[in-house]
Amino acid sequence: MENKTEGRKQLLIIGGGYAGFWSAISAIRQSREIKKTDELEVTLINPDNYFTMRPRLYEVSLEGLQVELDKYLKPLGINQILGKAETIIPEKREVTVSTAKGIRHLQYDYLVLATGSSLRALNLPGIETTFNNDTFNNALDLENHIIKLAKNNFSNEGDTTFVVAGAGFTGLESVTSIEDKAKAMQAKYSTKESKFRVVLVEKHDVVASFYAAQGQQYIIDTLKVKNVEVITGSHVVYVEPSAVLLSDGTRIPTSTVIWTAGMVASPLTYFFKGVKDSLNRVSVDGYLKLPGYDNVIVAGDVANVKVGNDQSATMSCQFSQFQGRWAGHNAVNDLFGFPLKEYKQPGYTTCLDLGTDYALITEGWDRVTRQTGQEAKATKAWVSTDLIYPSVDVEEAVAASFPAIPNF
Ligand SMILES: Cc1cc2nc3c(=O)[nH]c(=O)nc-3n(C[C@H](O)[C@H](O)[C@H](O)COP(=O)(O)OP(=O)(O)OC[C@H]3O[C@@H](n4cnc5c(N)ncnc54)[C@H](O)[C@@H]3O)c2cc1C
């Protein structure tokens, strides 16, 4: 068995997204605070060297959306394993990881599970030919596909039509940015100009009903302004190579279907006892600890965490990045017998990008409109380019990893 060095306690963190990254940094900060750095070894497992800014993957450009993990992990003495955790055996405190060099078996004294979420796998004919903005590589596939269409002057039937399936947050952000993305590729790679058609397909009878009336109307009006064709009360049933078939019999010729519907937590949650919610998440207590285990914390999209008004935190970086700060802090304190800090994040905001000139900021669980238009756009830009990134200065990031919610 690996990683049992010099009797140091082993903190193993699986996942290098918002929750996992901040867990690792916060663990280092807290181990310094309680003067236990010599007794602790922190290891982070992630398939690649990137902390990906997932909330930005729908954007026109993919530049700057990945932060290199080793720039933080190396100077802080955190072990990095590039690999995918395949199995967890809680009774043996063991994680099996597949890496480029083969399978590794790691032992832990304390585990932080932070493996996030992904699009739900669907048994839909042709789903494998669709695109999505779920991971960096998938967003890159979409970009390369559009470049290919652009180089061919979007000349085949359906090349100029983009169909977005699902009108949740990701669907709305994708559908209002895809034309600008196509135009950007056209300007770079085409020799003639094409006109684009953008279609949003939503199975509910109305779009954006999860917003209060004012926000919903703003979204509906914005979709109109942006010439997005909205089809409600219908869903995709078949994806052909150059068309999509809807449940109401409509057939839309298209070379590009962007799938955005249905998120689900990482399947690693199934290695633990306990009920999972409809999103596959495990319920944790007020300290992010997994009931029934004395050495497991779960944070981010894999955790069902109660926040203000007895609501569960949504799968969002808004919650994940702060849960990460609590996770690292509490894992270290629990390992060394110090008191845990209760996780509290009562506020809830949504920052929805609706493409050039349009955005919507809401507050509270009723999603009441606070900002629209350019004002909202400026807020969203600040969130996307500043708030969700760690400082480039490693020690500043360490200081920012203290578990507290800043007063924005
Ligand atoms: C297009 C899009 C737009 C979004 N917009 C917003 C928004 O506006 N606001 C907002 O708050 N949220 C938004 N989100 C949601 C937000 O990105 C997620 O909720 C957030 O990334 C969750 O953080 P996390 O750390 O739990 O998981 P992730 O960020 O998904 O990180 C999980 C990490 O774990 C790694 N991992 C997974 N499985 C394994 C394994 N078996 N072994 C090792 N590593 C593994 C993954 O590769 C990844 O690096 C958006 C998401 C998308 C896709």
Asked if residue 97 has pLDDT above 70, the reply is yes
* Top mutation candidate among 97, 316, 387 for ligand 1, by most atoms within 8 Å of CB: 316
> Is residue 380 situated within a structural domain?
no
How far apart, in whole angstroms, are the C-alpha atoms of residue 342 and residue 348? 18
Domain boundary pick from 259, 283, 318: 259
Nearest atom within ligand 1 for CA of residue 84: 42
Question: What is the three-class DSSP state of 123?
Answer: coil
187 plus 307 within the same structural domain? no
* pLDDT confidence of residue 101: 96
CA nearest ligand 1 atom 15, residue: 316
* Mean predicted confidence (pLDDT) in 78-97: 98
Mean pLDDT calculated for residue range 292-297: 98
336 contact partners, CB below 8 Å, separation of at least 6? 9, 34, 36, 39
Mutate to test the pocket of ligand 1, among 65, 97, 115, 379 (most ligand atoms within 8 A of CB): 115
Confidence of residue 111 (pLDDT cuts 50, 70, 90): very high
Q: Is it the case that residue 274 has pLDDT exceeding 90?
A: no
Average pLDDT value for residue range 186-214:
96
Say whether both 244 and 146 belong to one domain.
yes
Which among 279, 312, 320 is the best mutation to test ligand 1's pocket, defined by most ligand atoms within 8 Å of the CB?
320
pLDDT tier at 5 (50, 70, 90 boundaries)? low
Same domain, 105 and 172: no
Ligand 1, CB within 6 Å, residue ranges: 14-20, 45-47, 52, 54-55, 57-58, 84-85, 114-117, 133-134, 169-170, 173, 266, 268, 300-301, 315-318, 320, 351
Same domain, 331 and 245: no
Is position 332 within any domain? yes
Alpha helices per DSSP H over 255-362: 317-335
> What integer pLDDT is reported at residue 32 of this predicted model?
98
Token pair of 70 as six digits: 């080793």
pLDDT band at 219 (very low <50, low <70, confident <90, very high): very high
* CA–CA separation, 279 and 253 (whole Å): 32
Distance 22 CA to ligand 1 centre (A): 13
> Which atom of ligand 1 lies nearest, measured to the CA of 318?
11
Q: Among residues 259, 286, 301, which one ends one of the domains?
A: 259
Q: Is residue 400 part of a domain?
A: no
Judge if 95 and 145 occupy the same domain.
no
Overall number of domains in the chain = 2
Q: What was the pLDDT predicted at 275?
A: 86
- Please check the confidence at residue 2 and state whether its pLDDT lies above 90: no
Q: What token pair was written down for 276?
A: 């999972």
Question: Containing domain of residue 182, as a range?
Answer: 127-259
Give domain status of residue 394, yes or no.
no
How far is the C-alpha of 389 from the C-alpha of 382, rounded, in Å?
10
Let me know if residue 182 belongs to a domain.
Answer: yes
Domain contains 83: yes
Position 408: which residue type? Answer: F
Residue owning tokens 């669709």: 130
pLDDT at 304: 97
At 235, which amino acid appears?
A: H
Q: What is the pLDDT of residue 24?
A: 98
Ligand 1, closest atom to CA 54?
A: 17
Per-residue pLDDT tens over the stretch 159-194: 999 999 999 999 999 999 999 999 999 999 999 999
To test the ligand 1 pocket, which listed residue (97, 301, 363, 388) has its Cβ within 8 A of the most ligand atoms?
301
Residue 230 confidence class, pLDDT cut points 50, 70, 90: very high
Q: Please indicate, yes or no, if residue 175 is contained in any of the structural domains.
A: yes
Going from the Cα of 5 to the center of ligand 1, the distance in angstroms, rounded, reads: 31
Measured from the Cα of 19, ligand 1's closest atom is: 25
DSSP 120: P
Any idea what the CATH number is for the domain that residue 192 is in?
3.50.50.60
Q: Please give the distance, rounded to the nearest whole angstrom, from the Cα atom of residue 51 to the centre of ligand 1.
A: 9
5-9, 28-32, 370-374: least confidently modelled range: 5-9
CA of 116 to the centre of ligand 1 (A): 5
Query: Atom of ligand 1 at shortest distance to CA of 300?
Result: 26
Average pLDDT over every residue of 360-375 = 96
Is residue 210 within 8 A of residue 173, CB to CB? The reply is: no
**Cβ partners under 8 Å of residue 229, min gap 6:** 197, 198, 199, 200
Regarding whether 299 and 213 lie in a shared domain, the answer is: no
Give yes or no: residues 247 and 279 share one domain: no
Do 247 and 339 lie in one domain? The reply is no
Q: Indicate if 65 and 164 belong to the same structural domain.
A: no
Confidence of residue 390 (pLDDT cuts 50, 70, 90): very high
Question: 245 with 293, same domain?
Answer: no
The DSSP element (H or E) to which 223 belongs, if any, is helix 213-225
Ligand 1 center from residue 247 Cα (angstroms): 30
Considering 345, 362, 384, which residue would you say is the last residue of a domain? 345
Measuring CA to CA, how many Å separate 380 from each of 35, 61, 104, 372, 397? Answer: 39, 16, 41, 10, 21
Q: Which residues of 102-112 are buried (b: 16+ CB within 10 A; e: fewer)?
A: eebebebbbbb
76 inside domain: yes
What residue's CA is closest to ligand 1, atom 4? 55
Token pair belonging to 169: 């947050």
> Are both 207 and 287 inside the same structural domain?
no
Cβ-count burial 34-68 (b if 16+ within 10 Å, e if not): eebeeebbbbbbbbeebbbbbbbbbbbebeebebe
> In this predicted structure, what is the pLDDT of residue 6?
67
- pLDDT averaged over the chain? 96
The ligand 1 atom at the shortest distance from the C-alpha of residue 58 is: 1
Report the alpha-carbon distance of residue 338 to residue 255 in Å, rounded.
Answer: 57
Q: Where are the beta strands (DSSP E) in 178-242?
A: 197-202, 228-232, 236-240
Question: Which residue's alpha carbon is at the smallest distance from atom 24 of ligand 1?
Answer: 116
Distance of CA 331 to the CA centre of its chain: 23
Helix H or strand E segment including 139: helix 136-151
- The pLDDT tens digits of the residues spanning 12-30 come to 999 999 999 999 999 999 9
**Residue 192 and residue 105 share a domain:** no
Residue with the larger pLDDT of the pair 203 and 121: 203
